[in-house]
């Protein structure tokens, strides 16, 4: 028998498939289209086992779709802009372009070894001007619609990477840079933003897409919508001066005993009285310094200082002292709040510290009129609230909101935690922002006809942290497109999440030079039917790409508002020690080593077998041997029974003496084998549909174990041939190379991957004999084999006749008999 030499046969078939362009997706093909997309990799230089874990099951699912009769688009590309390339330039003097392209070349080879059905002719590389020109084009479209704007704002700055970051890229309690883990600091800078907040409400709507609840929840929390009322507080002794506060509790407005402005609030200077000036300045200085240092201070005591002015409660005209305090953030709501200590824990802390009154205005059920021990946040009956006294707080909320709206005091309003997307990066290796600053004309967009604004190739990469573009005179100095005078280019580049916000559209027609993609071809392929990738992108990439698609819809470029109909998040593969893989821990698994020993098919199948795909889990080098053993068994089984004259010798016949298992007893006519074939097809089909690769492979293992048991009596017969054919077809999506080789060795016509997915006969998939569980009072007492179509009456009869059932009934009367057809009979006694 031929040896299973995975390494050789995998290389052979990969070459053949590529030569035959087997994986080409054809635009406008009449078969139903299926756009299957897996997140493109960053070209770090080495294909990690984590890439395999994300991509190999995706490939299996895409291949399965194709066998199901779909015209499948399964593209790949590289997320090629980003900091590591620039850092390599600074440290080793290699140009980012060269570093990136060398890595891509290396990763292409590694990716090919996976045997995936990617269509390389559609490859997209985002650092190619052919690609990033469209980033600039989109930017201009957004600029024209007011969706891209420049503003001075306190922004997050990573001191190690020397660049600003989007809020989404600052993570954890320590507020560290998502890329390098350095704590970020705040800086006031003029930066470019994209107005994602304009779509906040739409982004909360997930109807029409099947995304995991997990991602949905993360996005909802991130957007952080809360409904409330924004109303005006006039300032005593300052006619015409007022500020607005946002509250989700207008029902508590009668309990306001102070008001707080954020220390950076623009009215602070104007309202501060001379006697308070020194304290206020000192506090502002302290607050500014503190926000510049780490903000670990959740436990920190709440403090503030009065500014000497008083706000007038619009409901009852009472005067409330105005404070500044750093627990109020300028970046949320209006940067000012009403202080209602009885009904807000933070306000209560503050009021206690400064001995402010704490009147109760919403009485908890059964309240005895005494001061509350802690802030009461729940609903109750309104008290001390003028004409609203006596209403339920729920009702009072609405009535006070109505009152404020009628009198022009305030309006109902939604507030969001979501901020606009800061896209400026003070780095070289990204898309130049196509803007020119002219001393006469101001901010001028680069005309579309002048695109792309290319990155200069001769930039210098110095370890100073200064952006190379800023120091590049040839790039920076330019002419104003409007007046022709001397002008300067914007030297910041775009966040690389811009690239990934629309790459799925570029794959549709990756070489179109006239537009981001061909709308005709787009109408055929779009949107993405299935997207797969890690959950770490939940509030970054996955939120941005939804936003981008809605903008594209509003630009008339696509006829839908959601980029990906279904999303699946795979888990994370861990090191053998159960820890996250890292070089420093020394637990990194190198896929290439396994590919070169046991083959890509084994690595693929093992990663799918390890557990549910969404779960991830530790790598186990013994576990992979088990899967390799399985493929070896498949190989031997197919060869042993297809190579003529090799079966039925005395050696294999020996097993027969032991006697078949009960379920296989009557398998001589091949019926039982047929049943196994069909039930396995059913199981694998259903499992692949839901990405349950682990149980699909387990079912195939059971099938093979069964086939080994019966092969001496079955091999050569028609049901056997069907079983072997089905087995190979069912394996094809997951282990494409061995399936192709076995398919060829069976004399079937090339290619196994162009065959239809086997269908099953529901009747055959159902067993002829089923195990009926017999219970007495809910305890299993016996199991009997019965024909599958048994009537309930007959089942009852058989149960009552059963010797063990009778024994355990112990002479008691039958109270009830529960029958679950084909499964169990439970005899309940009195």
Partner RNA sequence: GCGGAAGUGGCGGAACUGGCAGACGCGCAGGCCUCAGGAGCCUGUGGGGGCAACCCCGUGGGGGUUCAAAUCCCUCCUUCCGCACCA
Residues of the binding site: 583
Closer residue to RNA, CB minimum distance, 121 or 705? 705
| Interaction of residue 805 with RNA, rule CB under 7 A | no
Q: Kindly tell me the sign of the dihedral angle through the C-alpha atoms of 445, 448, 449, 454.
A: positive
By CB under 7 A, which span of 353-361, 550-558, 693-701, 754-762 interacts with RNA? 693-701
Three-state secondary-structure class, residue 755: coil
Q: How far apart are CA 736 and CA 739, in angstroms?
A: 5
Strand partners, 573: 617
**In terms of C-beta distances under 8 Å and separation of at least 24 residues, what long-range contacts does 799-805 make, across chains too?**
799/774, 799/825, 799/827, 800/827, 802/774, 804/774, 805/774, 805/776, 805/781
- 693 forms part of the interface with RNA (CB under 7 A): no
In the list 633, 647, 721, 806, the residue contacting RNA (rule: CB under 7 A) is 633
Q: Which residue has the tokens 């209403």?
A: 391
Per CB under 7 A, does 31 bind RNA? no
Q: Which lies closer to RNA via its Cβ, residue 15 or residue 221?
A: 221
| Residue 466 phi, psi dihedral angles, 5° rounding | -80, 145
Candidates 75-83, 118-126, 793-801, 820-828: pick the segment binding RNA (CB under 7 A). Answer: 820-828
Q: Is 708 in the site for RNA (CB under 7 A)?
A: yes
Q: If DSSP codes are grouped into helix, strand and coil, which group holds residue 385? A: coil
Examine residue 685 and tell whether it contacts RNA (CB under 7 A): no
CB of 704 to RNA, least distance (A): 8
650 binds RNA (CB under 7 A): no
* Interacting residue with RNA among 226, 236, 664, 745 (CB under 7 A): 226
Should residue 298 be labelled a site residue for RNA when binding is judged by CB under 7 A? yes
Residues 6 or more apart whose Cβ sits within 8 Å of residue 797: none
Determine if 109 is a binding residue for RNA (CB under 7 A). Answer: no
Among 19, 92, 289, 658, binds RNA (CB under 7 A): 658
Taking CB under 7 A as the criterion, the residue among 224, 357, 442, 465 binding RNA is 224
**In angstroms, how far is CA 715 from the centroid of its own chain?**
47
Q: How far is the CB of 701 from RNA (least distance, A)?
A: 4
* 394/629 with CB nearer RNA: 629
Site residues (CB under 7 A) for RNA, limited to 533-552:
539
Q: Which is nearer to RNA, 125 or 340 (CB)?
A: 340
d(CA 444, CA 408): 40
3-class state of residue 232 by DSSP:
strand
Stretch that binds RNA, among 81-89, 182-190, 504-512, 816-824 (CB under 7 A): 816-824
411 binds RNA (CB under 7 A): no
State residue 402 phi and psi, 5-degree precision.
Answer: -60, -50
What string marks each residue from 485 to 524 as x (binds RNA by CB under 7 A) or -?
----------------------------------------
Of 695, 746, 750, 760, which one interacts with RNA (CB under 7 A)? 695
Least distance between RNA and beta carbon 189 (Å): 19
Looking up tokens 């990033």 gives 132
Among 779, 793, 813, 830, binds RNA (CB under 7 A): 779
- The CA distance from 87 to 90, in Å, is 5
Contact between 593 and RNA by CB under 7 A: the answer reads no
Of residues 140 and 698, the one with the C-beta less far from RNA: 698
Nearer to RNA, 487 or 540 (CB): 540
Known binding-site positions for ATP? 583
Quick one: which segment of 12-20, 40-48, 146-154, 213-221 binds RNA (CB under 7 A)?
213-221
- Please tell me the distance from the alpha carbon of residue 825 to that of residue 439, in angstroms, as a whole number: 89
Report the site for RNA in 601-630 (rule: CB under 7 A): 609-612, 615, 617-618, 620, 622-623, 625-627, 629-630
Would you say 565 or 814 has its CB closer to RNA? 814
Residue 673 and residue 714 in contact, taking contact as beta carbons nearer than 8 Å: yes
Residues 6+ apart with CB under 8 A from 739: 728, 729, 731, 732, 752, 753
Using the rule CB under 7 A, give the single segment among 133-141, 180-188, 453-461, 695-703 that binds RNA: 695-703
Select the span of 82-90, 291-299, 359-367, 396-404 touching RNA (CB under 7 A).
291-299
Separation of alpha carbons 702 and 609, rounded Å: 13
DSSP track, 464-515: T---HHHH-HHHHEEE-TTT--EEEE---EE-THHHHHHHHHHTTSTT-SSS
For RNA, the binding residues in 311-330 under the rule CB under 7 A are: 326-330
The interface region with RNA, picked from 32-40, 148-156, 293-301, 439-447 by CB under 7 A, is: 293-301
Q: At what angle do helices 621-642 and 693-714 cross, to 10 degrees?
A: 30
Which residues pair with residue 816 across a beta bridge?
828
State which of residues 57, 75, 77, 228 lies at the interface with RNA (CB under 7 A).
228
d(CA 155, CA 164): 7
End-to-end CA distance of the chain: 65
Instruction: Report, in Å, the least distance between residue 702 CB and RNA.
Output: 4
- Quote the least distance from Cβ 492 to RNA, whole Å: 24
Other residues' Cβ atoms within 10 Å of the Cβ of residue 125: 20
What three-state secondary structure class fits 294? coil
Reduced to 3 states (helix: H, G, I; strand: E, B; else coil), residue 350 is helix
Query: Taking CB under 7 A as the rule, does residue 813 contact RNA?
Result: no
Is residue 760 at the binding interface for RNA, with CB under 7 A as the rule?
A: no
The helix/strand/coil state of 785 is strand
- Select from 41, 333, 468, 736 the one that contacts RNA (CB under 7 A): 333
Q: Are 522 and 508 in contact (CB under 8 A)?
A: yes
Can you give the length of the chain in residues?
Answer: 830
Chain positions 335 to 394 lying near RNA, rule: CB under 7 A, are: 335, 337-338, 344, 346
What is the rounded distance in angstroms from the CA atom of residue 257 to the CA atom of residue 97?
Answer: 61
CB of 478 to RNA, least distance (A): 39
- How far, CA to CA in Å, does 335 sit from each of 230, 296, 324, 343, 410? 11, 21, 10, 19, 16
Question: Residue 173 and residue 685: Cα distance in Å, rounded?
Answer: 44
Strands of 148-158's sheet, edge to edge?
A: 163-165, 148-158, 185-194, 421-422
Residue 453 Cβ, how far from RNA at the closest point, in Å?
33
Angle between helices 49-67 and 671-689 (to 10 degrees): 120
**Binding of RNA at residue 806 (CB under 7 A)?**
no
Is residue 803 near RNA by the rule CB under 7 A?
no
Asked if 780 touches RNA (CB under 7 A), the answer is: yes
Which of residues 781, 795, 802, 805 is near RNA by CB under 7 A? 781
**Contact (Cβ atoms closer than 8 angstroms) between residue 68 and residue 753:** no
Residue placing its CB nearer to RNA in the complex, 465 or 690: 690
Check binding of 197 to RNA (CB under 7 A): no
Residue of the chain from 46, 576, 702, 722 that contacts RNA (CB under 7 A): 702
Number of H helices and E strands in the chain, helices first, is: 27, 33
Q: Using the minimum distance from each CB to RNA, give the nearer residue, 511 or 656.
A: 656
Q: Going by DSSP bridges, is the β-strand pair 242-247/170-171 parallel, antiparallel, or unpaired?
A: unpaired
Q: Does 818 bind RNA (CB under 7 A)?
A: yes
How many chain residues interact with RNA (CB under 7 A)?
Answer: 84
| Residue 436: CB minimum distance to RNA, A | 35
Chain residues 131-190 in contact with RNA, contact rule CB under 7 A: 171-173
Nearest CA to 13 among 748, 735, 768, 819?
735
Q: Please, which of residues 718-737 interact with RNA by CB under 7 A? A: none
Nearer to RNA, 398 or 520 (CB): 398
Per-residue contact flags (x/-) with RNA for residues 230 to 269, judged by CB under 7 A:
----------------xxxx------------x-------
Nearest to 820 by CA among 799, 803, 806: 799
CB atoms within 10 A of CB 338: 24
**Residue 51 contacts RNA per CB under 7 A:** no
């Amino acid at each position: 028998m031929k040896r299973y030499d995975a390494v050789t046969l995998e290389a052979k078939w990969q070459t053949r498939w590529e030569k035959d362009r087997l994986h080409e997706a054809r635009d406008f093909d009449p078969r139903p289209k299926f756009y299957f997309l897996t997140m493109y990799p960053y070209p770090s230089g080495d294909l990690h086992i984590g890439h395999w874990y994300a991509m190999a099951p995706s490939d299996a699912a895409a291949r399965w779709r194709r066998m199901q009769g779909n015209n499948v688009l399964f593209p790949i590309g590289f997320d090629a802009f980003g900091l590591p390339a620039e850092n390599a330039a600074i440290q080793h003097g290699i140009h980012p372009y060269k570093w990136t392209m060398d890595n891509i070349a290396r990763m292409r080879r590694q990716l090919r070894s996976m045997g995936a059905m990617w269509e390389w002719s559609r490859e997209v590389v985002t650092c190619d001007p052919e690609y990033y020109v469209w980033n600039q084009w989109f930017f201009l479209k957004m600029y024209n619609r007011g969706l891209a704007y420049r503003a001075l704002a306190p922004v997050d700055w990573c001191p190690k990477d020397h660049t600003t970051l989007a809020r989404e890229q600052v993570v954890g309690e320590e507020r560290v840079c998502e890329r390098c883990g350095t704590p970020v600091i705040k800086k006031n800078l003029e930066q470019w933003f994209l107005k994602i907040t304009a779509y906040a409400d739409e982004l909360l709507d997930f109807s029409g897409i099947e995304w995991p609840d997990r991602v949905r929840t993360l996005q909802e929390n991130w957007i952080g919508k809360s409904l409330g009322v924004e109303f005006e507080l006039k300032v005593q002794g300052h006619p015409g001066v007022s500020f607005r506060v946002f509250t989700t509790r207008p029902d508590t407005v009668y309990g306001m005993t102070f008001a707080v402005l954020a220390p950076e609030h623009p009215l602070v200077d104007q309202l501060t009285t001379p006697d308070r000036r020194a304290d206020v300045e000192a506090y502002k200085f302290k607050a500014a310094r503190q926000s510049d240092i780490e903000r670990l201070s959740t436990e920190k005591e709440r403090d503030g200082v009065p500014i000497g002015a008083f706000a007038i409660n619009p409901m009852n005209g009472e005067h409330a002292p105005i404070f500044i305090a750093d627990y109020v953030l300028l970046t949320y709501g209006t940067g000012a709040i009403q202080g209602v200590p009885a009904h807000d824990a933070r306000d209560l802390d503050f009021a206690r510290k400064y001995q402010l009154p704490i009147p109760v205005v919403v009485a908890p059920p059964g309240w005895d009129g005494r001061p509350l021990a802690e802030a009461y946040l729940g609903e109750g009956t309104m008290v001390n609230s003028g004409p609203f006294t006596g209403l339920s707080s729920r009702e009072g909320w609405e009535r006070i909101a109505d009152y404020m709206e009628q009198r022009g005091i305030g309006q109902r309003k939604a507030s969001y935690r979501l901020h606009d997307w800061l896209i400026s990066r003070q780095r070289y290796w990204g898309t130049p922002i196509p803007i020119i600053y002219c001393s006469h004309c101001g901010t001028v967009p680069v005309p579309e006809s002048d695109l792309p604004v290319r990155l200069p190739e001769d930039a210098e990469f110095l370890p100073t942290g200064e952006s190379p573009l800023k120091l590049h005179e040839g790039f920076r100095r330019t002419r104003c497109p409007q007046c022709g005078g001397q002008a300067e280019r914007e030297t910041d580049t775009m966040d690389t999440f811009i690239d990934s916000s629309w790459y799925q559209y570029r794959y549709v027609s990756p070489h179109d030079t006239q537009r981001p993609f061909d709308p005709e071809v787009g109408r055929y392929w779009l949107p993405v039917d299935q997207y797969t990738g890690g959950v770490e992108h939940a509030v970054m990439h996955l939120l941005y790409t939804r936003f981008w698609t809605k903008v594209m819809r509003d630009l008339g470029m696509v006829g839908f508002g959601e980029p990906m109909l279904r999303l699946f998040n795979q888990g994370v593969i861990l090191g053998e020690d159960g820890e996250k893989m890292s070089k420093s821990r020394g637990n990194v698994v190198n896929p290439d080593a396994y590919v070169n020993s046991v083959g890509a098919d084994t690595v693929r199948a093992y990663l799918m077998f390890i557990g549910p795909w969404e779960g991830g889990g530790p790598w186990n080098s013994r576990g992979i041997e088990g899967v390799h053993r399985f493929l070896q068994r498949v190989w031997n089984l197919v060869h042993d029974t297809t190579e003529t004259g090799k079966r039925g010798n005395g050696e294999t016949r020996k097993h027969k003496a032991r006697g078949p298992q009960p379920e296989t007893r009557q398998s001589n006519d091949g019926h039982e084998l047929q049943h196994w074939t069909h039930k396995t097809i059913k199981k694998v089909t259903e499992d692949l549909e839901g990405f349950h690769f682990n149980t699909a492979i387990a079912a195939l293992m059971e099938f093979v174990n069964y086939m080994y048991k019966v092969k001496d009596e079955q091999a050569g017969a028609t049901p056997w041939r069907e079983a072997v054919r089905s087995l190979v077809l069912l394996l094809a999506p997951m282990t494409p190379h061995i399936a192709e080789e076995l398919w060829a060795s069976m004399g079937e016509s090339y290619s196994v991957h162009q065959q239809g997915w086997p269908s099953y006969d529901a009747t055959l998939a159902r067993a002829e004999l089923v195990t009926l569980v017999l219970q007495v009072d809910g305890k299993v007492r016996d199991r009997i084999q019965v024909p599958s179509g048994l009537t309930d009456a007959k089942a009852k009869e058989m149960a009552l006749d059963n010797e063990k059932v009778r024994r355990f009934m112990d002479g008691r009367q039958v109270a009830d008999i529960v029958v679950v057809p084909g499964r169990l009979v439970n005899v309940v006694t009195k």
